[in-house]
Amino acid sequence: MALSVTQAVAQSMLTALEAAIDAGTAAVINIYSGTVPANADAALSGNTQLAQLVCAASVFASKTDTGSAARGTFAAITADASADATGTATFFRILTQNGGTVVAQGTVGTAAADLILNTVSITLGSTVSITSATLDVPEGP
């Protein structure tokens, strides 16, 4: 497989993703424990929501060309000052708003993950914050 798209197309795809995320009143990032669903369309199955963080009205502060992808860097994300439950964070989902439509799903970690958290060991009532948040639309294989 060697399909690739131009930078212009990757940027257009990232802009469409941004519009989908911004479609609600305030996009949220829900952090979950448990087995990661196969994809963003799959239903949650016994997962516990550990935290919910609120995104800025316009989700991306900037969009850039990394050379191999169009990258959206998130604008300010409000930390969850009181985690909903205790558990080990395994993945996140971005929704258009609280209870809204799922737009994306990815991995969480403290390094080398789609979303970088202050910790993956979350305890009830603790603060959960995101230290790095970007989304990439790859240009090619």
Q: What is the pLDDT of residue 2?
A: 80
Domain ranges, ordered by start, for the chain: 7-138
Residue 10 neighbours by CB under 8 Å, 6+ apart: 69, 70, 137, 138, 139
* The pLDDT value given to residue 123: 97
The pLDDT assigned to 57 comes to 92
Nearest of 81, 84, 86, 93 to residue 39 by alpha carbon: 93
Helix (H, G, I), strand (E, B) or coil at 42: coil
pLDDT value at position 112? 87
Neighbouring C-beta atoms of residue 35, cutoff 10 Å: 12
- Stretches in the chain below the pLDDT threshold 50: none
pLDDT, residue 70, reads 94
Model pLDDT for residues 33-52, shown as the tens digit of each residue: 999 999 999 999 999 999 99
pLDDT of residue 100: 93
- Per-residue pLDDT reduced to its tens digit, 124-140: 999 999 988 899 999 98
